[in-house]
Structure 1
Amino acid sequence: MNCDDASRHTTLDDVLRERAEQHPERVALVDPTESRRVWTYGELHERVRRRAATLSVREIRCGDRVVVQLPGSLDLFELLFALFRVGAVPVVVPPGARESVTRSVRGFTGTEAGETSGDIHPDDLALLQLVGDGVGVPRLVPLSHTELLRSLRDRAAIQEAGEHTVHLVAQPELPIGALGLLDWLAVLGAGGRLVLCPGPDPDTAFRVVAGERVTHAALPSRLAALWTEAGAVTAYDLGSLRTLVVGGGAFDERVARRVRPALGCSLRQVFGTVEGLVSWTRPDDGPEASATTQGRPVSAEDELRLVDEEGHDVPPGASGQLLGRGPSLVRSYWRSPEHDACFFTADGFHRTGAVARVTEAGLLVVERGPEIAARTGATGRAVRRTPAPRSRPPRSHTHEGHTELTPGMFPYVMPTPAMLPADHTGWILDPARAALLVLNLQNRFVRALEQEAAPATELLANACRLIDGARAAGVPVIHSVPAGERRAAGPGPVPYARPAGPSAGAEAEAFAAQVEPRAGDTVLTARKTSSSTNCGCPAC
C-alpha cells in the first residue's frame, strides 16, 4: 500500500482516519450517474462516524457479525468502514445471491447483535467473505486485521495504486472474487479514487473513463475482450487509462496482445482466489509475459503445486490441477471442518479448482479458471458458480447406485437446524390429511452418496427423525422404490412385508437399515412412463 509506513496501522479504519486527517479535501468516491455524487475522504470519514454512532445505538458491538449484501456503492463503503470502526465483522455476501443462501449465512454466523465469535477472538477477525453459492453450510473465508491489511498492500502493488490513481469499479454487482472488494479497498487505502461505474459494457464504461479521467480498471477476461474490440473504434478519449488488470481465468493470448494497441494502456494479468492466492505479472516481466502468463505469486513464500487427478505432482511443463499454500492464503474456512477436508489437502494446500501449468521461467499459465458457469438472475446480475473440487479423485467407472436419477455430484454439507427458515405459516398437522413420502432410500443409492463424500449419515439421521415423528403423530409413512426393484406383485400400493429370504441383489436393493419400513407402512413403486414405449393406448 502506498502510504507512509502502512505497517503501523492495525485496522483499515486506522488507514481511513489518517487519510481523512492528512488530505480531507481529496476525492475518495465518485458516483457518476446523472446526479453525480462525490465524497472526499473528509466527507467519507464524517459519514462513517455518524453511521458508526447509529450502529452503536442499534447495539452493534465489537465482535458482532453483520451480513452485508450490497453492490459496490457509496452506501457499501460507508457501512463497511462504520462496521470496522465499531469493531464488528462484515460478512460479505454477493447482492445477487439467492435468499436461501443468505438465510443460511445468517443462521450459520449468528448475525444477531450481541453474539461474538467463539473460536476466533473478536479483536482478530476483521472480515468474512462468502465463496460459492451452494447448499448446506456456507464456505466463509476469514481474514484477520493483519491479513486484511497485508492483502490490501499486495493488491495495491499489483495495480500500482497511489494517491493519483482513479480506479473504475466496473462490476459493482460482484464484490467478491479475484477482482472485487479487496481491490477497491486497496485503492482507498492507497489514497486513490474509486469511480462507481453504472455498467461494465464499453458504451457505458468508456463514457465514464473519458469523463472521470480513469487511470486504472480491473476486468474479467470476457469483458476485457469486449473492451479491446470496442476500444479500437471508439470515439471516446481513453488517453487517461494507464493500466488494465485482467483476471478471473485464462485470457486469450491473441486478445491480450491487442490490449495496448486498442486501449493504449499496459496489461497486468492476475489469477486470484477469495482464499488469498494472488499471482500476477510484474512490470519487469516484460510485455511477452504479460500477454501469455499470470505471472508469479505475490509472496515469494507462496507455494504452487500442479497435480493430476490422483493427487500426484505432474511433470515440469505439464498441466495439472492448481494447488496453493503460503502466507497469502487462508489455512481453513470459518468453522467449516467439512469444507476444509474437501478444499484443503492434509498438508495445507488449497485446491483452487483451476487447471494450469508453469513455464520454464516459473510463470503461471492458467488454462481453465475455477468459474465454470454463470447464471443471471431476474435482476440481470451475474452470479458465478464455482463447483467444489472433489475430496477424492474421480473414478472412471460408474458407482453402484448411479442411474440417470443419481448423477455424479460434488461434496456438500448438510444444513444445520439453525439455518432452516422459521415457520410463519401457522399450519397445524392433521394426520388424517397428511402423509410422509420417503423416496429411494435403498442401500445402493445411499452407497453412491457415500462414495461421493455426500453427507449420507446426516441424511439418514434426519430421515429417521422425520419418520419417527410421523409415526408418533399417526401420519402414514409411504416408502417409494424405483420400478424394477424389490416389491410385492400387483399394481398400486401394498402393505410392507419384510422378504422371507435372500434374492439376487437383495442387499443392494434393500432399504437402508436406519429407515427400514415397519409393519403398517406402505411401499409404492415409482414408475416412469417413457414416451417411446408402447403403452397399449390407441395412439400407440
Structure 2
Amino acid sequence: MRGVTPFPPEFAARYRAKGYWRDQPLRVVFKIWCDAFTDRIAVRDTERALTFSELDAASTNLALNLLELGIRPGERVVVQLPNVIEFAVLHFALQKIGVMPVLALPPHRFREISFFVKTAEAVAVFSPVAHRDFSFTDMIVRIRAEAPCLKYGIVIGDAPEGFFSLAELIAKPASGDPSALDAITIDPTDPALFLLSGGTTGIPKLIPRTHNDYAYNSRMAASVCGIDKDSVLLDVLPIGHNLPLGCPGLQGFLLNGATTLLHTSTAPEEIFPLIERFGVTHIHAVPALLVRWTESPLASQYDLSSVRVIQSGGQRLQPEIRRRTARVFPNVTVQENFGMAEGLLMFVRLDDPEDVRMETVGRKICEDDEILLLGEDDQPVAFGEVGELCCRGPYTLRGYYDAPEHNARAFTPDGFYRSGDLMRQHPSGNYMVEGRKKDLINRGAEKISAEEIEELILQHPAVENVACVPMPDPVLGERNCACVVLRNGSSLELGELVDFLGQFELAKFKYPERIERFEEFPLSNFGKVSKKDLTAIVAGRVSAQ
C-alpha cells in the first residue's frame, strides 16, 4: 500500500513461522470470537449491553449500510468518538469491509482533524454532533471545503442537514446480502487502522497497524494481565488510544470472551458505583486518575473488592500512589506497563516480586521484541546504564505513514524505531524509565509536542523567542510552561497567550498553563537553548510559590 513501509521479507517469514502472524484479517479474528462466545456480554455501557452475537449482527448490518452509502473497501475514515457502544459496532463494521480508520481523540480540533483527513485522504469523519460549546459538525463542514476527498459526516446524535446518523445506520435494516462481505479481499499485511504518534515535530504522525501485527498485539497483551471469561474491563481512557483499545483493552477482553464496560466520565462519583454494580475486575488508568480516585472520600462508600488489576501506563507511577491505590482497592495488583502506539509493549508481570513491581515498567512480551539501549554514539550502553530505547519486532512499525523524511530520522538504518525514551535495565531484567530524549511534555499521559506549540507562539507579535518545557504537577505529572523572551517594551500574560492560540483551533490540552518570562535563555555547550536548565529553573519557581 502506498505510504506504508513493509516489514522486510526475512522478518515477515520468521514472524509467520513462529506463529505470531496468522494471516487473518481482523474481521476473521473478530468472527472467531463472536462464534465462540455467542451469548456472553461483549460490550456494555450503563444502560445498554450487546452479546457477541448481537455485536456481530449489528456490525454486519452497519457494514452493509456503509457500503450502500458509498464508502468503499480500502478507503480511510477518521473516527473521533467517545467511549460508547457505537464505537465497538463501528470498529467491527469497518474491519468487515476493509475500511481503515484513523483513530482521533475527542479533544482534537480543526487543526488536527483537517491534517488527518488530508494526510489519509479520508472520505468520512465519525464524530459527535457537539460537545459543550464546540460544534463538530461545523468543523467538518469547514474541512470539507478544504478537502474534496471528505464526502461524509456521520455523527452520534441528531444529524443536521448534510450529515448521517450513526445510530440510524446501525439500526436501519440493510438491503445488501451479508455474503457480499466475504467477497471483499483484505490483505492482512495492510493497515487495519491508524493510531497516532505522540508527535515531537508538529501534529501527530499516522501509525499504520496491520491486521497481522495488531491481532498479535492484543493477544500477547491479554496473556499477561490475568484475564478470564468472567473478567470485566472498565474502559474510561479515550478508546482511540492504543491502551484501551488493544493493550489488551477492548480487543484483548473480547478475545477471552470477557466484557468491556465503556464509560465517558472518570469522576469518582461515577466510577465507584460502576465498579460495585458491574463487578469490575480490570481498569486501565493513568497516574493522574489514580491520584484523583484514591483521594476521594467516596471510595469508602462502595464495595471495590472486585477489582483485581489496575493497569497503569502513560507515565511513571510513583510507589506511594501504588500504596494508596492498594488501600482503596483491597484486592488489587497495580500492573505497570510501558507501551507505545508504534508497537513495543512491556508489562510488569503480576507475580513479579514487590520491589520489581514498585521500581520498573516491565519487560517485553515477545521473545522477538528486539530492544537496544543506545548511547549518544549510537552504540549499545553497558547493562544498567541509561540509553535511548530503540526497538523492532513483530508488532512494531517500520515507518510512519507517508512520512519518508521523518522516517529517516526516526529509525536506525537496520530498522530499529528510535523511541526517544531514556531507559536502563533493572537487575531483574525489567526496564526503568529515566526520562526522555524527545521534546515532549507528558500531561497526564497525553503527549504534547513542544515544537508544535512553540511554532504557533512565535507568531505572536510580542514574542521574540519561546521554549515550551514541562513543569511539575502533583496530579498530571507535567503541564506545559511557555518560557518566553519578549520583544523590547512588550508584555504578555497567560490569558492573552491562550486567547491568541485559540485562533489555531488545536486541542486544548496542548495549551500552556503557565508563562515564565526571561531576558535571555540559558544555552548549552553547543549554543542551543538548554531546555534541561529551563526545566530546572521553572521547577524551582513553581516550588517556591
Please, what TM-score do these two structures have when normalized by structure 2?
0.63
Does the 8 Å contact 1:281/1:294 carry over to 2? yes
For 1:341, the equivalent position in structure 2 comes to 408
For 2:348, the equivalent position in structure 1 comes to 281
How far apart are the structure 1 equivalents of 2:402 and 2:218? 24
How many residues are aligned here?
A: 380
Does the 8 Å contact 2:224/2:347 carry over to 1? yes
CA displacement at 1:84 relative to structure 2: 0.4
For 1:71, the equivalent position in structure 2 comes to 82
For 1:60, what is the secondary structure of its paired residue?
Answer: coil
Give CA deviations for 1:73-111 in whole Å, capped at 9, x if unaligned: 111111111010011111211121121211111111112
Amino acid of the structure 1 residue aligned with 2:340: T
How far apart are the structure 2 equivalents of 1:127 and 1:346? 26
For 2:300, what is the secondary structure of its paired residue?
Answer: coil
Out of 369, 372, 381, the position equivalent to 1:302 is 369
Does the 8 Å contact 1:87/1:123 carry over to 2? no
For 1:373, the equivalent position in structure 2 comes to 441
For 1:234, what is the secondary structure of its paired residue?
Answer: helix
* RMSD of equivalent CA atoms: 3.3
Give CA deviations for 1:109-168 in whole Å, capped at 9, x if unaligned: 1123899xxxx9687221111224677675111121111110110121132223211000
For 1:271, the equivalent position in structure 2 comes to 338
Are residues 1:256 and 2:319 paired?
no
For 2:448, the equivalent position in structure 1 comes to 385
CA, structure 1 residues 295+123, in 2 after alignment: closer, same or farther (shift >3 Å)?
closer
Give CA deviations for 1:199-250 in whole Å, capped at 9, x if unaligned: 2233321111111110101111222233344489522101111111111121
For 2:73, the equivalent position in structure 1 comes to 62
For 2:430, the equivalent position in structure 1 comes to 363
Matches within 5 A, 1:409-424: none
CA, structure 1 residues 8+320, in 2 after alignment: closer, same or farther (shift >3 Å)?
closer
How far apart are the structure 1 equivalents of 2:52 and 2:439? 35
Out of 229, 232, 238, the position equivalent to 1:163 is 229
CA displacement at 1:277 relative to structure 2: 1.1
Are residues 1:30 and 2:96 paired?
no
Amino acid of the structure 1 residue aligned with 2:96: R
CA displacement at 1:356 relative to structure 2: 2.1
Out of 367, 372, 387, the position equivalent to 1:320 is 387
For 2:484, the equivalent position in structure 1 comes to none
Gaps of at least 5 residues in structure 1 are 377-381, 390-402, 411-540
CA displacement at 1:313 relative to structure 2: 3.6
Structure with the larger RCO, 1 or 2 (CA within 8 Å, 6+ apart) = 2
For 1:199, the equivalent position in structure 2 comes to 265
Matches within 5 A, 1:124-523: 124-132=190-198, 139-171=205-237, 173=238, 175-182=240-247, 183-230=249-296, 234-264=300-330, 265-368=332-435, 372-373=440-441, 384-386=447-449, 405=464
CA displacement at 1:309 relative to structure 2: 4.3
Does the 8 Å contact 2:44/2:50 carry over to 1? yes
Amino acid of the structure 2 residue aligned with 1:31: D
Give CA deviations for 1:351-393 in whole Å, capped at 9, x if unaligned: 22322221122110123367943679xxxxx95325589xxxx
For 1:396, the equivalent position in structure 2 comes to none
Amino acid of the structure 2 residue aligned with 1:26: R
CA, structure 1 residues 181+359, in 2 after alignment: closer, same or farther (shift >3 Å)?
closer
Does the 8 Å contact 1:92/1:129 carry over to 2? yes
Are residues 1:95 and 2:106 paired?
yes
How far apart are the structure 1 equivalents of 2:435 and 2:354? 22
Task: Kindly name which structure, 1 or 2, has the bigger radius of gyration based on alpha carbons.
Answer: 1
Amino acid of the structure 1 residue aligned with 2:441: A
CA displacement at 1:344 relative to structure 2: 1.7
For 1:240, what is the secondary structure of its paired residue?
Answer: coil
| More displaced 10-residue stretch of structure 1: 96-105 or 339-348 | 339-348
Does the 8 Å contact 2:83/2:263 carry over to 1? no
Are residues 1:12 and 2:26 paired?
yes
Give CA deviations for 1:427-466 in whole Å, capped at 9, x if unaligned: xxxxxxxxxxxxxxxxxxxxxxxxxxxxxxxxxxxxxxxx
How far apart are the structure 2 equivalents of 1:293 and 1:200? 26
Amino acid of the structure 1 residue aligned with 2:320: R
For 2:529, the equivalent position in structure 1 comes to none
How far apart are the structure 2 equivalents of 1:409 and 1:187? 39
CA, structure 1 residues 266+349, in 2 after alignment: closer, same or farther (shift >3 Å)?
same
How far apart are the structure 2 equivalents of 1:122 and 1:286? 39
Out of 64, 86, 96, the position equivalent to 2:97 is 86
CA displacement at 1:270 relative to structure 2: 0.2
CA displacement at 1:279 relative to structure 2: 0.6
Does the 8 Å contact 2:426/2:432 carry over to 1? yes
